[in-house]
Amino acid sequence: KQEVTQIPAALSVPEGENLVLNCSFTDSAIYNLQWFRQDPGKGLTSLLLIQSSQREQTSGRLNASLDKSSGRSTLYIAASQPGDSATYLCAAPISSGYSTLTFGKGTMLLVSP
Protein backbone atom coordinates (compact mmCIF):
# COMPACT_ATOMS: atom_id res chain seq x y z
CA LYS A 1 0.00 0.00 0.00
CA GLN A 2 1.42 3.36 -1.07
CA GLU A 3 2.25 5.75 1.75
CA VAL A 4 3.35 9.33 1.20
CA THR A 5 5.23 11.33 3.80
CA GLN A 6 6.07 15.00 3.67
CA ILE A 7 8.62 16.87 5.72
CA PRO A 8 8.73 19.37 7.21
CA ALA A 9 5.11 19.65 8.36
CA ALA A 10 5.49 23.42 8.56
CA LEU A 11 8.04 25.92 7.33
CA SER A 12 8.40 29.63 7.93
CA VAL A 13 10.82 31.67 5.83
CA PRO A 14 11.45 35.34 5.06
CA GLU A 15 10.56 36.62 1.61
CA GLY A 16 13.21 36.01 -1.03
CA GLU A 17 14.55 32.73 0.34
CA ASN A 18 14.89 29.63 -1.78
CA LEU A 19 13.37 26.59 -0.16
CA VAL A 20 12.92 22.84 -0.60
CA LEU A 21 9.92 20.74 0.35
CA ASN A 22 10.41 17.00 0.66
CA CYS A 23 8.15 14.09 -0.21
CA SER A 24 8.85 10.38 0.15
CA PHE A 25 6.78 7.43 -1.06
CA THR A 26 6.97 3.73 -0.30
CA ASP A 27 5.96 2.13 -3.61
CA SER A 28 8.42 3.26 -6.26
CA ALA A 29 6.56 1.49 -9.09
CA ILE A 30 4.75 4.70 -9.98
CA TYR A 31 4.45 6.31 -13.39
CA ASN A 32 4.03 9.89 -12.16
CA LEU A 33 3.87 12.10 -9.10
CA GLN A 34 1.90 15.30 -8.67
CA TRP A 35 2.42 18.40 -6.51
CA PHE A 36 -0.51 20.55 -5.44
CA ARG A 37 -1.06 23.79 -3.61
CA GLN A 38 -3.98 24.23 -1.18
CA ASP A 39 -4.99 27.59 0.25
CA PRO A 40 -6.95 27.54 3.54
CA GLY A 41 -10.50 26.30 3.01
CA LYS A 42 -9.96 26.01 -0.72
CA GLY A 43 -9.52 23.35 -3.36
CA LEU A 44 -6.32 21.84 -4.70
CA THR A 45 -4.41 23.57 -7.47
CA SER A 46 -2.18 21.34 -9.54
CA LEU A 47 1.36 22.74 -9.70
CA LEU A 48 3.45 20.12 -11.44
CA LEU A 49 3.19 16.56 -12.69
CA ILE A 50 6.39 14.59 -13.13
CA GLN A 51 6.33 11.47 -15.25
CA SER A 52 8.45 8.52 -14.13
CA SER A 53 10.61 8.95 -17.23
CA GLN A 54 11.51 12.50 -16.17
CA ARG A 55 13.83 13.56 -13.41
CA GLU A 56 12.72 17.19 -13.23
CA GLN A 57 9.83 19.43 -14.17
CA THR A 58 9.82 23.21 -14.03
CA SER A 59 7.10 25.84 -13.96
CA GLY A 60 8.19 29.41 -13.32
CA ARG A 61 9.87 29.58 -9.92
CA LEU A 62 8.94 25.99 -9.13
CA ASN A 63 11.08 22.98 -9.86
CA ALA A 64 10.12 19.44 -8.92
CA SER A 65 12.43 16.45 -9.03
CA LEU A 66 11.67 12.75 -8.86
CA ASP A 67 14.00 9.94 -7.81
CA LYS A 68 12.06 6.70 -8.03
CA SER A 69 14.94 4.54 -6.87
CA SER A 70 15.09 6.31 -3.53
CA GLY A 71 11.35 6.96 -3.32
CA ARG A 72 11.75 10.72 -3.08
CA SER A 73 10.54 13.89 -4.70
CA THR A 74 11.41 17.48 -3.90
CA LEU A 75 9.71 20.75 -4.69
CA TYR A 76 12.09 23.68 -4.96
CA ILE A 77 10.65 27.19 -4.73
CA ALA A 78 12.98 29.98 -5.80
CA ALA A 79 12.83 33.52 -4.48
CA SER A 80 9.81 32.88 -2.26
CA GLN A 81 7.05 35.49 -2.00
CA PRO A 82 4.29 36.06 0.58
CA GLY A 83 1.81 34.89 -2.04
CA ASP A 84 3.47 31.46 -1.94
CA SER A 85 2.09 30.95 1.58
CA ALA A 86 -0.11 27.86 1.41
CA THR A 87 -0.05 24.14 2.10
CA TYR A 88 1.84 22.09 -0.48
CA LEU A 89 0.69 18.53 -1.07
CA CYS A 90 2.51 15.69 -2.73
CA ALA A 91 0.47 12.86 -4.26
CA ALA A 92 1.48 9.56 -5.83
CA PRO A 93 -0.60 6.83 -7.47
CA ILE A 94 -1.68 4.13 -5.01
CA SER A 95 0.09 1.48 -7.07
CA SER A 96 1.48 0.71 -10.46
CA GLY A 97 -1.19 0.89 -13.13
CA TYR A 98 -3.58 2.97 -11.05
CA SER A 99 -4.40 6.64 -11.38
CA THR A 100 -5.89 7.02 -7.91
CA LEU A 101 -3.78 9.32 -5.79
CA THR A 102 -2.49 8.90 -2.27
CA PHE A 103 -1.69 12.19 -0.59
CA GLY A 104 0.80 13.28 2.01
CA LYS A 105 -0.28 15.46 4.93
CA GLY A 106 1.37 18.45 3.33
CA THR A 107 3.86 21.12 4.24
CA MET A 108 2.36 24.38 5.49
CA LEU A 109 4.51 27.21 4.16
CA LEU A 110 4.50 30.73 5.53
CA VAL A 111 6.53 33.37 3.71
CA SER A 112 6.81 36.58 5.69
CA PRO A 113 7.43 39.98 4.07
Partner 1 sequence: EPEVTQTPSHQVTQMGQEVILRCVPISNHLYFYWYRQILGQKVEFLVSFYNNEISEKSEIFDDQFSVERPDGSNFTLKIRSTKLEDSAMYFCASSVVSDTQYFGPGTRLTVL
> Residues 49, 62, 65, 85: which binds partner 1 (CB under 8 A)?
49
Site size for partner 1 (CB under 8 A): 24
CA dihedral 11, 30, 48, 108 (to 10 degrees): -20
Least gap, CB of 5 to partner 1 (angstroms):
11
* Site membership for partner 1, residue 57 (CB under 8 A): no
Least gap, CB of 17 to partner 1 (angstroms):
27
User: Among residues 45, 39, 41, which one has the least CA distance to residue 87?
Assistant: 39
* Residues of span 87-106 touching partner 1 by CB under 8 A: 89, 91, 93-94, 98-106
* Site membership for partner 1, residue 32 (CB under 8 A): yes
Contact 110, 20 (CB under 8 A): no
User: From CA 53, how far away is CA 74, in angstroms rounded?
Assistant: 16
In the bound state with partner 1, the residue whose beta carbon lies nearer, of 52 and 63, is 52
Please report, as a single letter, which amino acid is at residue 105. K
Contact 97, 29 (CB under 8 A): no
Where does this chain bind partner 1 (CB under 8 A)? 31-32, 34, 36, 41-46, 49, 89, 91, 93-94, 98-106
